C-alpha cells in the first residue's frame, strides 16, 4: 500500500519534471532574445531538476543513493545561478544589449 | 579553529555518504584523507569565514525555505508565459540598490535573484545590481525589496 503511494508520488514528480523540461525547451525556442531565453532555461535548472531528482529519491528510498542524489541537487542549485550570471555578464561584455519594451532605467 | 573543524565535518559526511563501504581499512583511509585535505587547505590559507560561513548557518535555512516557495511561484509564472507566447512578456532592465554590507551578502542576494526564474542578475557595481527581468511585474516585486531585506537580515 505504502509502496504504491510512493510509486505514484514519484511518477507524478517525474512527469511534472519532464513537462517543465519540455516547457523550458519550448521557451528557449520561442522567446525573442538571448536574455529572455535565459529565463526559460532557468525553469529547467531549478524546479524541473528538483522534481526529477525528488522523484528518483522517492524511488531509491532511505539509502546512500538518495544522499548522492541530494548532493547532486545541491551542487546544481549552487552552480547553475553562477553559470547563468557568468553567461549574461559575458553577453553584456560582448556588447549584446537586451531587447526592452517599456521602462528602461539605466 | 572552528572553521577547520567544520570543514573536517563536511568532508567526513561527504566521504561517508559517497563511499558506502565501512570496513576498518577504508574508514581509516578516509579519516587520513580528511586530515590531509584539511591540512592542505589550512596551508593554502583558504579556511576562513568566507569558505565556511558558519555565522550564517542559523538563519539561512529559514531563508532558503522562503526562497523555495518563491522559486516555485515564479516557475509557475514563467511556464505560464512560455505557453502564452511572446505577447505575454515585457522584458526590462533595472538597476536595484543593494543594502547588504558584506560581499557574502551581496553574492547571496544576486544568486537568489538568478535562482528565481524570471529575473537574472547581470552585473554588480558597488552598491547596485543590474537585473534583467522577463516582465515588469518581476522588477516591481524585487523593488519592493522583500528579498533584499531578508538577505540583509542574514548578515546580523
| Domain map (residue ranges) of chain B | 2-44, 56-154
pLDDT (0 to 100) of residue A71: 92
Q: What's the mean pLDDT in A24-52?
A: 91
List the grid coordinates of B110: 544576486
Phi and psi (nearest 5°) for A79? -85, -30
List the grid coordinates of B15: 566521504
156 residues of chain B, pLDDT tens digit each: 788 888 999 999 999 888 888 899 999 999 999 999 999 999 998 888 777 777 777 788 888 899 999 999 999 999 999 999 888 888 889 899 888 888 888 888 999 999 998 899 988 888 889 999 988 888 888 888 888 888 888 876
- Taking the CA of residue B111 and the nearest CA in chain A, the distance in Å comes to 6
| Other beta carbons less than 10 A from residue B80's beta carbon | 11
Contact B79/A at CB under 8 A: yes
Alpha-carbon distance of A54 to A39, in angstroms, equals 22
Contact B111/A at CB under 8 A: yes
Do B91 and B134 touch, CB atoms closer than 8 A?
Answer: yes
Alpha-carbon distance of B112 to B115, in angstroms, equals 5
pLDDT at A36 over 50: yes
The reply to whether the predicted model has a pTM over 0.90 is no
Q: How high does pLDDT run on average in chain A?
A: 88
Where does B56-154 sit in CATH, by number? 3.30.1370.10
More confident position, A11 or B46: A11
Do A23 and B82 touch, CB atoms closer than 8 A?
Answer: yes
Q: What's the mean pLDDT in A100-106?
A: 52
Do B131 and B94 touch, CB atoms closer than 8 A?
Answer: yes
Q: What's the mean pLDDT in A35-56?
A: 91
From A86, which residue of chain B is nearest by alpha-carbon distance?
Answer: B122
pLDDT at A103 over 50: no
**Complex ipTM value:** 0.83
Contact B69/A at CB under 8 A: no
- Taking the CA of residue A21 and the nearest CA in chain B, the distance in Å comes to 10
- Taking the CA of residue A84 and the nearest CA in chain B, the distance in Å comes to 7
Do B66 and B150 touch, CB atoms closer than 8 A?
Answer: yes
Amino acid at each position: 500500500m505504502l509502496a504504491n503511494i510512493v510509486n505514484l508520488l514519484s511518477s507524478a514528480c517525474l512527469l511534472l519534471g519532464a513537462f517543465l523540461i519540455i516547457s523550458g525547451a519550448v521557451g528557449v525556442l520561442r522567446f525573442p532574445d538571448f536574455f529572455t531565453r535565459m529565463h526559460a532555461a532557468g525553469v529547467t535548472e531549478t524546479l524541473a531538476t528538483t522534481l526529477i531528482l525528488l522523484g528518483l529519491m522517492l524511488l531509491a528510498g532511505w539509502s546512500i543513493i538518495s544522499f548522492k542524489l541530494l548532493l547532486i541537487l545541491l551542487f546544481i542549485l549552487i552552480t547553475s545561478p553562477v553559470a547563468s550570471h557568468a553567461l549574461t555578464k559575458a553577453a553584456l561584455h560582448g556588447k549584446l544589449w537586451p531587447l526592452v519594451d517599456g521602462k528602461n532605467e539605466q | 579553529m572552528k572553521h577547520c573543524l567544520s570543514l573536517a565535518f563536511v568532508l567526513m559526511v561527504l566521504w561517508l555518504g559517497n563511499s558506502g563501504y565501512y570496513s576498518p581499512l577504508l574508514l581509516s583511509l578516509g579519516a587520513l584523507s580528511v586530515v590531509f585535505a584539511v591540512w592542505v587547505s589550512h596551508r593554502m590559507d583558504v579556511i576562513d569565514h568566507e569558505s565556511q560561513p558558519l555565522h550564517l548557518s542559523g538563519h539561512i535555512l529559514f531563508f532558503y525555505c522562503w526562497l523555495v516557495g518563491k522559486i516555485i511561484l515564479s516557475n509557475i509564472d514563467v511556464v505560464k508565459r512560455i505557453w502564452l507566447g511572446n505577447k505575454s512578456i515585457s522584458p526590462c532592465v533595472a538597476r536595484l540598490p543593494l543594502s547588504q554590507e558584506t560581499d557574502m551578502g551581496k553574492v547571496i542576494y544576486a544568486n537568489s535573484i538568478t535562482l528565481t526564474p524570471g529575473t537574472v542578475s547581470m552585473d554588480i557595481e558597488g552598491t547596485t545590481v543590474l537585473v534583467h527581468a522577463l516582465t515588469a511585474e518581476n522588477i516591481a516585486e524585487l523593488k519592493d525589496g522583500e528579498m533584499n531585506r531578508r538577505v540583509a537580515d542574514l548578515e546580523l
